[in-house]
Amino acid sequence: MRLGTWNIGILTGKSMEVVEVMVRRRINILCLQETKWVGLKAKDLENSGFKLWYSGTNRTRNGVGIIVDKTLTQDVVDVKRVGDRIMAIKIVIGQELINVISAYAPQVGLDTSSKEKFWEDLGDLVQGIA
């Protein structure tokens, strides 16, 4: 099992490039940050068998996603989205239930309340898993 994370900058027009990198590097699950895609959706990636779950509210900033390779897409049993900075999937691998979180922390320039909300939301998500 190989996991990765990538601050993609913007995902538009790059989904097949991302799949190619995953195949070349043998990555099974890839967390993405700064997708800048709007919606709370799942998307099959251009007949590759790979699937992307994503969460975003603004085309100019933020957005997170998780891509799962074709051998594991059917094993995803739950998806949780917490705004445009945090999401998680639950996936069954063998006899184990694995939780994968993609998170994009607020940057230095944002106000303290935004940062506190992010860390509180992430903490709540992790507590819900434990």
DSSP codes of every residue in 6-46: EE-S--TT-HHHHHHHHHHHT-SEEEEE-----EEEEEE-T
**Using CA atoms, how far apart are residues 82 and 44, in angstroms rounded to an integer?**
21
| pLDDT per position as a tens digit, 79-115 | 999 999 999 999 999 999 999 999 999 887 888 888 8
pLDDT at position 98: 96
The count of C-alpha atoms lying within 13 angstroms of the C-alpha of 16, restricted to the half-sphere facing its C-beta, is 4
- Options 3.90.1150.220, 3.60.10.10, 3.40.50.970, 3.40.50.2000; CATH of 3-105: 3.60.10.10
| pLDDT per position as a tens digit, 19-61 | 999 999 999 999 999 999 998 999 998 889 999 999 998 888 8
Going from N- to C-terminal start, the domains of the chain cover 3-105
Q: Considering the entire predicted model, what is its pTM?
A: 0.92
